[in-house]
Amino acid sequence: MMNERDWGNPLPPDDGSIVHDTLAPDESTTEDGVMKVTGACRPGALGQRLKAATQTGSTTRVIVPNKHVARAVHEFAKAPMKDLTDSGAVPYRTAASLLTPAGDRLVRETSTPPATVELLATGGVNLTVGTETLRLPGGEAAIDADTDLPDGVFIAKDEDGTAEMKLTRGGGTTVATLDSEADLRASYAPIQGWFRPDRLSYRCDITIHYPDPADSDTLCTHDCPPQESTMATPATLTAFFEQFSVSAEGHQLEKADLRSRYRAWLDAANQTRLCSTEFGEALHSAPKIETTRREESTVIPDRAWRFSVTYER
């Protein structure tokens, strides 16, 4: 049976995520290029705030209460995905329920496993409940009354002017009517939405600050740990390539795009700007990266970015 926490509060902690242990419900706002993290938010909520705060192209200052939280924000910002898959990535979930375009909630029977989500490198999203997978084209939660939902999944519709809740599925057919919201919560769990990053990493778009333990009126700047500093070498280029792209027949990466995003990744690791010579030498010597000429550009064939990136520097 679901309890109040499952509906109104963030999702349970994800294994191994320092963000969950250090950030608590958010109580602040973002304005004038300053984003304050005074309490906690789950990774999905933190990602949504970073995405909104970094749309101008200028650096956003993120103010956190201490160095421990600064490290957590740093870890999330440099890799805003929960896990990697052979065909894409697993996003962090948000606390909000997944809604239809009409504003109705998507729910599942509590006897079914929690829904899992995979962002596909070649486009779209796989939403899996139990043994059934619902493919959502374009990555949007465009689930409506005509969607063929997995077993045990329903659309919960509020009845105007009453406390009743109607559960519908394929074709908008009503399969059950519940007397109240409490009855819905007793037998059904919400299916949460997810955070979709608009860039590979947010680390180079923000600076992270926390009060100096010796002087609370002074802000310290959180720097990347020294061991994270990397140079433009075949090894680091290969690591970036494997982390942020996947094998995808018929797709291709532009060399110029690879260079731009690799440069941003190095910047996030506290490095100086990447020059063309360094990138060219690293690419030429990277054993797992094959390039070819197509029309007037150099590309890496049969490869796609692990998740769709809409923000370009």
Helices (H) and strands (E) in the chain, counts: 8, 20
- Three-state secondary structure readout of 138-168: HHCCCCCCCCCCCCCEEEEEECCCCCCEEEE
Band of the pLDDT at 10, cuts 50, 70, 90? very low
Identify the pLDDT of residue 7: 38
Shared domain for 157 and 190, answered yes or no, is no
Whether residue 18 is contained in a domain is answered as no
Identify the pLDDT of residue 258: 92
Shared domain for 191 and 94, answered yes or no, is yes
Band of the pLDDT at 8, cuts 50, 70, 90? very low
Please compute the mean of the pLDDT values over residues 174-188 and round it to a whole number. 92
218 pLDDT above the threshold of 60: yes
Identify the pLDDT of residue 268: 67
pTM equals 0.81
Shared domain for 157 and 201, answered yes or no, is no
Task: Encode pLDDT of 65-111 as tens digits.
Answer: 999 889 899 989 988 999 999 999 999 999 888 888 888 899 999 99
The three-class DSSP label of residue 256 is helix
Task: Note the residue count of the chain.
Answer: 313
Shared domain for 119 and 59, answered yes or no, is no
308 pLDDT above the threshold of 90: no
Q: In whole angstroms, what is the distance from residue 105 CA to residue 94 CA?
A: 14
Q: Are 67 and 210 in contact (CB under 8 A)?
A: yes
171 pLDDT above the threshold of 80: no
Q: Which residues, in sequence order, are CB contacts of 81 under 8 Å at separation 6+?
A: 89, 90, 91, 92, 197, 306, 307
Shared domain for 91 and 213, answered yes or no, is yes
User: Which of the pair, 110 or 33, is modelled with greater confidence?
Assistant: 110
Instruction: Please list the residues that pair with 128 across neighbouring strands.
Output: 116, 133
Band of the pLDDT at 19, cuts 50, 70, 90? very low
CA atoms within 13 A on the CB side of 212: 6
Shared domain for 235 and 276, answered yes or no, is yes
Q: Is 142 left (phi over 0), alpha (psi -120 to 50) or beta?
A: beta
Shared domain for 42 and 98, answered yes or no, is yes
187 pLDDT above the threshold of 80: yes
Identify the pLDDT of residue 270: 57
Shared domain for 141 and 81, answered yes or no, is no
Is residue 52 within a helix (H) or strand (E), and if so which, with residue range? helix 43-53
Shared domain for 61 and 191, answered yes or no, is yes
Identify the pLDDT of residue 276: 64
- Tokens 């706002």 correspond to what residue? 29
Identify the pLDDT of residue 14: 36
Identify the pLDDT of residue 236: 86
Shared domain for 65 and 203, answered yes or no, is yes
Whether residue 156 is contained in a domain is answered as yes
Shared domain for 125 and 153, answered yes or no, is yes
Q: Chain-wide mean pLDDT for the chain?
A: 81
Longest dimension (CA), the chain: 69
Count: domains in the chain: 3
Shared domain for 85 and 196, answered yes or no, is yes
Q: Domain range for residue 198?
A: 33-102+184-221
